[in-house]
A and B are shown apart, each in its own frame.
Chain A
Amino acid sequence: MTGLPPGAPGATASQMPADPDVGADVLLQVDNLVKYFPIKSGGIMSRHVGDVKAVDGVSLSLRRGQTLGLVGETGCGKSTLARCIAGLLPITSGKVTFEDKDITNLSRRAMQPFRREIQMIFQDPYGSLNPRLRVGSIIGEPFIIHRTATGSERKRAVQELMQRVGLNPEHYNRFPAEFSGGQRQRIGVARALALRPKLIICDEPVSALDVSIQAQILNLLADLQDDFGLTYLFIAHDLEVVRHVSNEVMVMYLGKAAELGPKDDVYERSHHPYTRALLSAAPAADPESAAARQRIILSGEVPSPINPPAGCRFHPRCPRAQDICGQEIPPLEVKAGDPPAHLTACHFPVPAGEDLVGAVRAQGRRPR
């Protein structure tokens, strides 16, 4: 890629490093994506005084028709990663490949064809719809921007979309304020669907909704995936939601991937202590099982992404941490006995079937 500006037509698959994961069915490939937000001192002569390391070297690949769930607590870089992939934020370093084409930091004009392929559904059903536009204009906007349908044709297309996502097409002329949260999110889904994208990035699409409405939206997304062969990058902090919708799951902590693998592997046989802690913290619907299980309560706070800990980013809070954890960054790799798709970034992975709490007790350290 030397000498080629990012996004130049020549920068295609032939120049990509050979990667066994890159196959015909890989829709989206992200290599070592880094996003730093510079911190500048105030004043006229602003100096660069540091970076918020929001995403620090994340790689993932997403196959056509699959759903990758992205979980992690607030501030771990999930949404930043999504916006980098969607081309809404410039990337500090790394590479995003969509259908074997490099789309890293394309200009707005060069990105335009890919906007039709990659769409986003946003978290806030109130904030993501312009309050001054009628629903017809909101859902019709992609057609206007990409000049794919005009006049009565556009109106018909919009009303078909409204019907498809379960909205009354008669409400074409209403304003967003006249809809409930769930209906508004359906408007957002219809807008994302308008250009028939291949990839939809769902940035916490249900976390602002009631639980009963969540189920409706999730079912709608699942139906649409079947009908249109959509691929989802699904971000959430609700572990049960992610488990319900995903084929694969990636757990992020402080800008890095902690664990990545097929859904059941990550949920049933996770190795990373952070994944274990996260899973144990999820509320359970069944009170008996909730009473039976042990919660792992981590000590301390999430460190600042401006100055993240050296080595493994989780080590200051990790009950299994040893000296090496503060020095060497653990690689994201396959641990013994795992399928090749299950990757863990930990020096001392919790063996499958073993309890993190038990293991910690055996070591004589008590998790707080």
Chain B
Amino acid sequence: MSDAIHIELVAQGMVTLRGDLASASLAKAVKAAVGCTVPGQRQVLVAGENVALWMSPDELLLLVRHDKADDVVAHLGKSMAGEHHLAVNVSDARAMFRLQGQGAREVLAKGAPVDLAPGQFEPWVVRRTRIGLVAAAFWMTEADTFEIVCFRSVAGYMEDWLHHAARKDSLPGVFS
């Protein structure tokens, strides 16, 4: 693997919230649960250690501490009582990786059909796509740092794939 690239599996609490993203009570519930507003299309919003990601027109993914996910689900259920929604802890259904280092954009561009060029893909935008042969979502938190979410059962594949794609002397050198 290229010395400049670091790959790490991260324990991350995750809550799927489906509902009417335009509703005031959902906005209030999200604010109360994770501390940020409702993200717009493909947006990633941060509030301290929590993150809210836009997944689809009626779905958010909330990132919280792993041991807080059940509390957040309960909290959302309480504050949205009476309003149709679905909140569920999916922390263990997923795996999250952090990919860091110079060339990280090109590592992902080997397997994700996404325009990863600087200026085209920048921090705090989430893409739901695939990496190699599996479904994935990713976003950047800062220059050369990506957070990647995939299904738990294929975490082994994802880890192998990332290491393979990041191996020494294999990057095309297009974005640098």
- Are A and B interaction partners? no
